Amino acid sequence: MLHRRWIRIVIEQDKSHVPVVDVRGLWASYEREPVLEDVQLTIRPGDFIGLIGPNGGGKSTLLKVLLGLMPPTRGEVRLFGEPPAQGRRLVGYVPQAFAFDRAFPIRVREVVRMGRLSRRGLGRRYNAADDAAVRVALEQVDAWHLRDRPFGDLSGGQRQRALVARALAAEPQLLILDEPTASVDPQGRADLYTILRELNIHLTILLVTHDMLAISSYVKTVGCLNRRLIYHGTQEVTAEMIDLGYPCPVELIAHGLPHRVLATHPTHREET
């Protein structure tokens, strides 16, 4: 018994040195039109990375490649040291849009339990371990009290928390979220970001967002993707990122006070 426990601990320690995500020289295309160009990205355990960039810049495409839903044109992608098809079992995913019939009679706990399918497989009955994982996931997003509510009756913020809980029910080591606050009111966004910051204590998080509040206040590192990726492993939004992703100067205002998160960004007039 002691010998097996020692072996398990050594394996976990070795895994801690493996990048959660390791992308090298990644190119991806739709009908021979490049969408991602020579992307290099390494995400370490415990990071909370915010990925910004314009619509059509390739952010959703990058997520598809990471999840093994789209093959790269060239380059290498690894999740936890494995190809995406194998490594994604350790990933929880919250999509940008979740289409559903509001009249469909499904409760919140049943939506969250869908996250267990990656562990149970289709056709296998849920058991007590699944129910326990559902409870833990809902408690992590402060939504256990919503467990018996019809999913269609929830507010936008409550729905997103339930969908995060569904991803957490799979007991992932990496949580990927694609624009999770797009249809959520300001208070709901703040609540969700607070939950994500707490989850980041034991989870690595990759957040795709246009929300500069998240970038300024919650994430640990920032990247900007517009076909090419700029990522320096820091929280600063650099002028290089702004030039890549946005055509005009940007200054962030947070909590009613100027809050600059980028270095001085000269205008074209100042440069000439």
Domains in the chain: ranges and CATH: 18-271 (3.40.50.300)
Q: Is the pTM of this model over 0.85?
A: no
Please identify every stretch of the chain with a pLDDT value under 50, giving residue numbers as ranges.
Answer: 1-14, 248-250, 252-272
* Predicted local confidence at residue 103, as pLDDT: 75
pLDDT in tens, 12-43: 444 567 999 999 999 999 988 999 999 999 99
Residue 114, burial from CB neighbour count under 10 angstroms (0-12, 13-18, 19+): middle
The sign of the CA dihedral 220, 207, 242, 25 is: positive
Q: What is the pLDDT of residue 42?
A: 96
SS3 248: coil
Supply the pLDDT for residue 263.
46
Q: What is the mean pLDDT of the chain?
A: 83
